[in-house]
Amino acid sequence: MDPATLPQEVQRARAFARAAHGDQRYGVHPYVVHLDEVVGILHGLAEADEATLISGYLHDVVEDTEVSAAEVEREFGGLVARCVALLTDAPGESRKQRKAATYARLAEVPTDAPEARALVVKVADRLANVRRSVDDQNRRLIKMYRREHAVFRGSARRAGRALALWDELDRLLEWTAARA
């Protein structure tokens, strides 16, 4: 996917996220590589509208930068801000605590709610992370994603939503388990 072919508002979200993440890295790559991977996965889905793509670019901006939820709402509107809020990890002292609270929040999102776009972004994010972990042969991260998968899947998967992404994620994690 060439970001230059995306709608103007999506390109603006990419520029906003890229500036906010600054010099952050995604492994050895600039952080925008991860954001482009997530949006590239989303871009192939018929259900991924402009708000979904924008949320894909902004999914880590409140969690990992100085950008506030209010700033996201001011710049990109209430729907995107609500999606980003759902995608932002809840506070907690450990990853286990943060993820448990975040997954509980995701589990409450109705399938037909406008904010259910966040669930599609969440699986695209996880798929991008797992693909990258496999490519980088990062066994530690692969093991972590496999360990979390059942709870993650139970909280974020919905009938009729991003099923091809869920199928790929399930198969990829099964494949990594068989090779462990």
Q: CA 102, CA 46: separation in Å to the nearest integer?
A: 26
Spatial CB neighbours of 55, under 8 Å, sequence gap ≥ 6: 80, 83, 84, 87, 117, 118, 121
Please give the tally of structural domains in the chain.
Answer: 1
Q: What is the pLDDT of residues 45-90, one digit of tens each?
A: 988 999 999 999 999 999 999 999 999 999 999 999 999 999 999 8
Tokens standing for residue 82:
């609500």
DSSP class of 126? H
Q: CA 78, CA 140: separation in Å to the nearest integer?
A: 37
Q: What is the pLDDT of residue 44?
A: 83
Tell me if residue 166 falls in helix, strand or coil.
Answer: helix
| Mean pLDDT, residues 15-30 taken together | 94
Q: CA 148, CA 129: separation in Å to the nearest integer?
A: 13
| Mean pLDDT, residues 99-121 taken together | 95
CATH number at residue 130: 1.10.3210.10
Q: What is the pLDDT of residue 51?
A: 97
Q: What is the pLDDT of residue 75?
A: 98
- Check whether 180 has a pLDDT greater than 80: no
Q: What is the pLDDT of residue 82?
A: 98
Tell me if residue 28 falls in helix, strand or coil.
Answer: coil
Q: What is the pLDDT of residue 38?
A: 97
Q: CA 172, CA 161: separation in Å to the nearest integer?
A: 18
Q: What is the pLDDT of residue 14?
A: 98
> Other CB atoms closer than 10 Å to residue 93's CB: what's the count?
7
Instruction: Write out the residue range of the structural domain in which residue 16 sits.
Output: 3-179
Strand partners, 81: none
Tokens standing for residue 67:
């950008």
Q: What is the pLDDT of residues 127-179, one digit of tens each?
A: 999 999 999 999 999 999 999 999 999 999 999 899 999 999 999 999 998 88
